[in-house]
Structure 1
């Protein structure tokens, strides 16, 4: 987790369910017009979002930022592809890692840090169905243990 993380705007709760997150990167976003106003109002959905590397640049797809209510004609397309700002070294590392079988870039959370919108993206390896079931079993067992301890004390 990055240090000094500001106000969390949106989280992708499904990401940890569907992927083993191995590494995270903090990226800035290239925004248009009234998008930052919608982000500050927490009108963002990361559920179906994913990131891709195209011609040495990283882009996020399917990230929904709702149009700003007072934006009239200056509003933007809610699902447009947005460029992510990363250091060249980080992009080169991601290119090498995502070319391996089964790895993909998943947006984990969006937050505002020092007045700037940031997106935390994770390098994830897809989980199989049995991995997801195992995670659910462990989660349930942990809940049961905590409940038993609570009832005792």
Structure 2
């Protein structure tokens, strides 16, 4: 019998997640963006010392900027550490930026960081184009999730 080798998926290592994003927003579209970081910041990110909870992105002067994301100072970085809450530039293609400019002009649309991960040794950010949920939408999502969980539990016990 001949065995066929499976293709390996590219190595992605999730370093930080924004767990509240999918609860508070309806994600319409996602983009993968690079992040411009300093040397001590990337070391801190690789250690998983990053918080995306209150972060958002904004398009200014044809560039996309990540704001209000906290990257803890690197312990061995001393004088090379920078402000933990500084704005960081996101690297996207020009046509993606133009598309984001058009979509963010609509009322209620925002750019939310979903997760940060390593891809081939480079830090990437998954950026979501999102619309805020109302409280009744959040309750509906929780209700649907509980129903799915109950259905899976019942089906598991049937077999």
Same fold (TM over 0.5): yes
Q: Give the aligned length.
A: 151
Asked whether 1:67 is paired with 2:77, we answer no
1:89-108 aligned within 5 A: 89-108=95-114
Residue 35 of structure 1: SS of its match in structure 2?
helix
Asked whether 1:28 is paired with 2:34, we answer yes
CA contact (8 A) 1:5 1:111 kept: no
Q: In the alignment, which residue of structure 2 is the partner of 1:149?
A: 155
- State the TM-score, normalizing by the size of structure 2: 0.90
- State the TM-score, normalizing by the size of structure 1: 0.94
Q: CA deviation at 1:26?
A: 0.7
Q: CA deviation at 1:19?
A: 0.9
- Which of the two has higher C-alpha Rg? 2
Deviations 1:73-124 (A, max 9, x none): 1111111110101111100000000101111000011011111111010100
Q: CA deviation at 1:20?
A: 1.0
List alignment gaps of at least 5 residues for structure 1. Answer: none
CA contact (8 A) 1:33 1:76 kept: no
List alignment gaps of at least 5 residues for structure 2. Answer: 1-8
RMSD across aligned C-alpha pairs, in angstroms? Answer: 1.2
Structure 1 runs (4+) greater than 6 angstroms displaced? none
**Aligned partners of 2:130, 2:12: CA distance in 1, in Å?**
24
Greater displacement, 41-50 / 142-151: 142-151
**Aligned partners of 2:109, 2:44: CA distance in 1, in Å?**
31
